């Protein structure tokens, strides 16, 4: 049986692909580097994070990118021995204008190397590439209209792509007009005599949905499914999987059909989703008159879904504790806007430790020194051990739980005239910085310090220790819900991360050494 969500914690906008006996799902990564997460399965039950295709600044330059901008809705397809990945790099997402640049990279092996990007267009976001049976290739994307009096989500564009010219050719055409609300995420499929256009409608929040339209001609006109939306929870506020939408489909080797879609699991007491938008699977059927339906006829997601009749293919469980004994960071680690390179990070200068050199502040959109991973469970412990000797208050290092530069909880070591080397918590709530002064603790004579954050459904609590045996509470109980997309009207798309970071606002690049980083699931079920 398939347990949803299959990809927990900030894995939204899934694109689902089968290549012979292998299944892949590509998900969005926003301002985090490397770009695009590609997950792999052979049985649809067991999944592992396999690779990241966008690993170089020449493929993805995120410096200056706003939070929840960057990589949106990657689309992964395969044709004639080549993988194609198209994605949006969002440089501006607020206000009337949107700067949304669409690119294509390709590879003959899913593990790469992936090509340098080919620029496609900037007319809207959520691009997808369709390979028609006649050999032609077509790019689809939503179109953004900033003008007063027009629908912002102005319809779905299609334009031919030339492999030989490595560019779009001909004119772009609108194949589906904009609706009264959000229409995006176009994915095109061909089955029998019809082209099927799968869409995300209603916005990626609580009104989200999957809708379908079809046409006998790729350029339209497209008729909408009379039973739309085929997947949604907008009318079921108590369903455990909310925000269901943005679907893509595959057919298994045995002729079964499954849809991958995004969803979110709210806190029990509030409509806040600090784990972000996640990926789930649903089994599907086709009606006699050629429309796609969820198995059983419902419009609602399921927590437990029957898997296909394929041999079980479990993967080795990810390590709970990363001891930094390898030559590169583990695959679940991400860096903020910039790649992990020797200019600010090293696993070699002190073997068995991750050395991070301090750079810009937590509000910087350029070159922060941060290594983090998704918080994927409502019950987990996050722990590290740090060696750091700051000389003044501009040098800081420690354990952070964050949503973005405006909302974070930071247990950090620093130095001041009053306490010398000390440990304390600094926070930001909707951009308002605060220091929890009453809880600053002198650790002047400590060579190393153990730091821990515990997530218990709605709350986060920090702890510290000198020996990893006796742990002490530090600071108040903190609101995990603050680290969510919807907190106090925020419009973001990522979810909570936890990690290690170092700042040196003096420019001296003072380093901290981290001995390990542990992410331990206490209970994977909310």
In three-state secondary structure terms, 122 is coil
Given 13, 126, 225, 479, the catalytic residue: 13
State the Cα–Cα distance between residues 346 and 356, nearest whole angstrom. Answer: 7
Given 184, 383, 387, 504, the catalytic residue: 184
Query: What single DSSP character describes residue 355?
Result: E
State the Cα–Cα distance between residues 15 and 140, nearest whole angstrom. Answer: 14
Judge contact between 45 and 1, C-beta under 8 A: yes
| Exposure string for 466-495, b = 16+ CB within 10 A, e = fewer | eeeeeeeebbeebbbbbbbbbbeebebbbb
- The DSSP secondary structure of 251-309, one letter per residue, reads E-TTS-EEEEEEEE---SSSS--TT--EEEEEEEEE-TTS-EEETTS-SS--SEEPPPS
- Check if 154 is active-site: no
Chain-centre distance for alpha carbon 9: 8
Rg (CA), the chain: 23
Of the candidates 218, 242, 329, 262, the residue with the CA atom closest to the CA atom of residue 7: 262
In three-state secondary structure terms, 373 is strand
Residue 14 structure tokens: 């899934």
- Check if 184 is active-site: yes
Judge contact between 35 and 29, C-beta under 8 A: yes
In three-state secondary structure terms, 496 is coil
The DSSP bridge partners found for residue 372 are 334, 499
Residue 204 structure tokens: 């990626």
Residue 206 structure tokens: 């609580």
Residue 221 structure tokens: 């006109």
Residue 518 has, within 13 A of its CA and on its CB side, a CA count of 17
Of the candidates 200, 166, 153, 265, the residue with the CA atom closest to the CA atom of residue 14: 200
Judge contact between 156 and 143, C-beta under 8 A: yes
Sequence-distant (6+) residues with CB within 8 A of 525 are: none
Judge contact between 400 and 411, C-beta under 8 A: yes
Instruction: Count the Cβ atoms, other than its own, within 10 Å of residue 321.
Output: 10
State the Cα–Cα distance between residues 405 and 513, nearest whole angstrom. Answer: 23
Judge contact between 401 and 483, C-beta under 8 A: yes
State the Cα–Cα distance between residues 197 and 223, nearest whole angstrom. Answer: 10
Query: Which residues carry out catalysis?
Result: 13, 184
């Amino acid at each position: 049986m398939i347990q949803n969500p299959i990809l927990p914690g900030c894995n939204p906008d899934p694109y689902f692909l089968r290549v012979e006996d292998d299944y892949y799902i590509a998900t969005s990564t926003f301002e985090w580097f490397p770009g695009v997460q590609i997950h792999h399965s052979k049985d649809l039950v067991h999944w592992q994070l396999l690779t990241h295709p966008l690993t170089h600044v020449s493929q993805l330059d995120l410096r200056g990118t706003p939070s929840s901008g960057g990589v949106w809705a990657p689309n992964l397809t395969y044709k004639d021995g080549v993988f194609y990945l198209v994605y949006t790099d969002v440089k501006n997402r607020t206000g009337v204008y949107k700067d949304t640049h669409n690119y294509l990279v390709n590879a003959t092996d899913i593990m790469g190397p992936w090509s340098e990007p080919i620029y496609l267009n900037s007319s809207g976001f959520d691009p997808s590439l369709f390979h028609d049976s006649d050999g032609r290739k077509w790019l689809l994307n939503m179109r953004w209209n900033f003008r007063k009096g027009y629908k912002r989500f102005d319809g779905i564009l299609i334009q031919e792509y030339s492999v030989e010219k490595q560019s779009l050719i001909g004119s772009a055409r609108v194949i589906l007009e904009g609706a009264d609300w959000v229409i995006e995420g176009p994915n095109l499929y061909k089955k029998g005599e019809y082209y099927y256009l799968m869409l995300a409608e209603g916005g990626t929040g609580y009104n989200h949905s999957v809708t379908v339209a079809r046409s006998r001609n790729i350029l339209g006109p497209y008729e909408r499914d009379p039973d739309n939306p085929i997947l949604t929870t907008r009318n079921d506020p108590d369903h455990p999987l909310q925000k269901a939408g943005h679907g893509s489909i595959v057919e298994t080797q045995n002729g079964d059909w499954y849809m991958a879609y995004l969803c979110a699991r709210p806190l029990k007491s509030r409509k806040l989703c600090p784990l972000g938008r996640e990926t789930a699977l649903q089994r599907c059927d086709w009606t006699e008159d050629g429309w796609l339906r969820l198995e059983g006829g419902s419009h609602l997601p399921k927590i437990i879904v029957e898997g296909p009749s394929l041999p079980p293919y479990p993967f080795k469980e990810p390590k709970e504790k990363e001891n930094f004994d390898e030559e590169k960071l583990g695959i679940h680690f991400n860096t903020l806007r910039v790649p992990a390179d020797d200019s600010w990070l090293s696993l070699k200068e002190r073997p068995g430790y991750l050395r991070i050199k301090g750079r810009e502040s937590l509000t910087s959109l350029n070159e922060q020194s941060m290594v983090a991973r998704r918080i994927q469970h409502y019950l987990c412990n996050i722990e590290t051990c740090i060696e750091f000797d700051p000389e003044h208050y501009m040098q800081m290092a420690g354990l952070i739980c964050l949503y973005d530069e405006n909302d974070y909880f930071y247990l950090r070591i620093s130095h001041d005239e009053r306490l010398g080397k000390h440990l304390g918590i600094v926070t930001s709530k909707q951009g308002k910085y605060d220091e929890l002064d009453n809880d600053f603790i002198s650790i002047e004579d400590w060579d190393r310090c153990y730091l821990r954050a515990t997530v218990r459904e709605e709350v986060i609590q920090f702890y510290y220790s000198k020996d990893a045996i006796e742990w002490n509470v530090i600071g108040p109980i903190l609101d995990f819900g603050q680290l969510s997309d919807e907190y106090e009207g925020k419009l973001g798309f990522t979810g909570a991360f936890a990690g290690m970071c170092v700042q040196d606002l003096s420019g001296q690049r003072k380093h901290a050494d981290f001995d390990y980083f542990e992410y331990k699931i206490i209970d994977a079920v909310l």
